[in-house]
Amino acid sequence: MNAFKYLMCVGLIFIYSDVSATDRVILFKSNWEQGIDERVQFQRPNIESIDLVALDGFVGKFIKVKIDRNSDYSKVANGSPRAEISFGGIFRFDQKKTYVVSWQTYIPPNYEFDCEQSELIAQIHQGPAAGYPPFAIFISENNTYEIHSRTQSQVDSVTAFFGKPTADVGKIVR
């Protein structure tokens, strides 16, 4: 396996909808063309771990996330290898409300999948005091996407499996 891995995402949008589609309030929306919003917080070992790039044949900017096994993760949450952005400074999820989370991911053609464990590719954090991330997408060891949605109580946990990430290599997937 290579020393680093990366995935990219573009066109991030989070929409809160309490009653119907006509009552939606946009909490965050970006195609990254103007850069990464200054309110976004980072968990990364160094500045090169999260960057904006353009891809040939695709419109917009992409957030490139790089995980390098040789980086020093001692100042990153839990000291574990990660490069993340957090929206905790922009909004928080409230219980008993409905949210629509929409974004796109791109898995590069040279990406090497880890078949021995799930790989976290995207999650929404609400900051250190809010506990477990309420929403996360993984690539499972069974080659499916795996979604976790939960509150601070494990009883409220929802997990769903769908799709085939290996079939999505080189494509933008929403």
pLDDT value of residue 1: 41
Helix (H) or strand (E) holding 159, with range, is: strand 158-162
- Summarised one tens digit per residue, pLDDT across range 143-171 is 899 888 776 666 667 788 999 999 999 88
Give the lowest-confidence range in 6-10, 132-136, 158-162: 6-10
Query: What is the three-class DSSP state of 14?
Result: strand
pTM of the complete model: 0.76
> Which residues share a beta bridge with 93?
none
pLDDT value of residue 15: 60
- Within 13 Å, how many C-alpha atoms sit on residue 79's CB side? 1
Cβ neighbours of 124 (radius 10 Å): 23
User: What value does the mean pLDDT of the chain take?
Assistant: 78
pLDDT tier for residue 72 given thresholds of 50, 70 and 90: very high
Domain spans of the chain, in order of start: 4-173
Rounded to an integer, what distance in angstroms lies between the CA atom of residue 102 and that of residue 13? 5
Are the C-beta atoms of residues 138 and 149 closer than 8 Å to each other?
no
Q: 115 or 53: whose pLDDT is higher?
A: 53
Percent of the chain with pLDDT over 70: 78
Residue 34 has pLDDT above 60, yes or no: yes
The winner for highest mean pLDDT among 34-48, 106-120, 143-157 is 34-48
44, amino acid identity: R
Rounded to an integer, what distance in angstroms lies between the CA atom of residue 2 and that of residue 68? 9
Query: What is the three-class DSSP state of 164?
Result: coil
Mean pLDDT value of segment 83-103: 77
pLDDT value of residue 2: 44
Mean pLDDT value of segment 82-103: 78
Are the C-beta atoms of residues 97 and 91 closer than 8 Å to each other?
no
- Summarised one tens digit per residue, pLDDT across range 74-90 is 988 788 888 888 877 78
